[in-house]
Amino acid sequence: MIEFEDLPELRDPIMICAFEGWNDAGEAATAAVAHLSRVWDADAVSALDPENYYDFQVNRPRVTTEDGIRRIQWRTTRVLLALPERLGRDVLLVQGIEPSFRWRAFTLELMELAEEAGVSAVYTLGSLMADVAHTRPIPVTATSDNEDTIHRFDLEASTYEGPTGIVGVVADAANQAGLTSISVWSAVPHYAGHAPSPKATLALVAKLEELLDTPIDPDDLIESARAWERGINELAESDDEVAEYVEALEQAQDTAELPQATGDAIAKEFERYLRRREPGETS
């Protein structure tokens, strides 16, 4: 069980979770929680026992030096408490790593934590690689499995079917526990998804700002996002194939934003791009 140390009585708390691994393309989701932790001046209040959930050959401990003393730091899932005044309610931030095993026990611990702290809503953050252009606004979707939550926050209904990560498991557990459960996902350009993507992080933070109806200090995220985009621009300028692909993605996204845009229209844009890539075909 998670045990809190000196946890004060909380003001209508919510929980925001993100996990390293499969759910975290471009490290966008975990960077968003790290950003909230920083701008809201959050303090660690607890952690899960890593022995129960992690393969240390995959998530190796780290050697650190503090005050001249070398220590072993075990990587795990931590819980931090933020008391943002402008929000008017307290926030438990869950910064973690997707567990190697015992997912149901892991999720149960988080739900017991939520119940003990009086949490009423759980926001899970994720990011995935997608066919989107880095020069366009990062697509963000917010979904729920609960009809009341969908109507209250003007969300989309969850329609995904297939393999899921710990984010999906935690979101479902929160819904089953009767909590407001909202999943927020950003799309990261797959050709640039292996490095940190501050533009996708900024998009997640902006969506949370909308959902929570409170301003969130962007701090250095705006400039970091601009620098990231400039870096990808330089990559595209030096590689004709990447530049052509980005142009096709831009056309598809721009078409999708038009009132008359349909799935068929977007598909045709990609078909034109693929035909141009066929041997012997001229652009």
Digit-coded pLDDT (tens) for 40-96? 999 999 999 999 999 998 889 999 998 889 999 888 999 999 999 888 899 999 999
Q: Backbone dihedral region of 82: left (phi > 0), alpha (psi from -120 to 50 degrees) or beta? A: beta
Q: How confident is the model at residue 278 (pLDDT cuts 50, 70, 90)?
A: low
Reported confidence tier of residue 280, pLDDT bands at 50, 70, 90: very low
Stretch 163-183: mean pLDDT, rounded? 95
Kindly indicate the confidence band of residue 191, based on its pLDDT and cuts at 50, 70 and 90. Answer: confident
Question: To the nearest 10°, the Cα dihedral for 241, 245, 251, 253?
Answer: -160
How far apart (Å, rounded) are the C-alpha atoms in residues 108 and 112?
6
Q: Do residues 79 and 93 touch, judged by C-beta distance below 8 A?
A: yes
pLDDT at 260: 45
**CA 196 – CA 227 distance, rounded (Å):** 12
Predicted confidence at residue 266, as pLDDT, reads: 46
Q: Dihedral angle at the C-alpha atoms of 59, 65, 71, 77, nearest 10 degrees?
A: -40
Average pLDDT, the chain: 87
Assign 251 a pLDDT band (cuts: 50, 70, 90).
confident
Mean pLDDT of 208-237: 91
Q: Are the C-beta atoms of 123 and 15 separated by less than 8 Å?
A: yes
What's the pLDDT at 217? 93
CB 204 within 8 A of CB 140: yes
Q: Mention every residue, 6+ apart, whose C-beta is less than 8 A from residue 38.
A: 219
What angle, 0 to 180 degrees and rounded to 10, lies between the N-to-C axes of helices 28-39 and 198-212?
Answer: 60
Cα–Cα dist 202/208, whole Å: 10
For the record, the structure tokens of 282 come out as: 């001229």
The fraction of the chain above a pLDDT of 90, given in percent, is: 62
Judge whether residue 277 has pLDDT over 60.
no
Say which residue the tokens 């943002």 belong to. 84
Buried b (16+ CB within 10 A) or exposed e, 181-218: bbbbbbbbbebbbeebbbbbbbbbbbbbeebbeeebeb
Res 1: pLDDT: 54
Distance in angstroms (rounded) separating the CA atoms of residues 150 and 180: 10
Can you name the residues that pair with 156 across neighbouring β-strands? Answer: 143
Residue 216: which of 38, 19, 28, 96 has the closest Cα? 38
pLDDT of 200 > 90? The answer is yes
Residue 97 three-state SS: strand
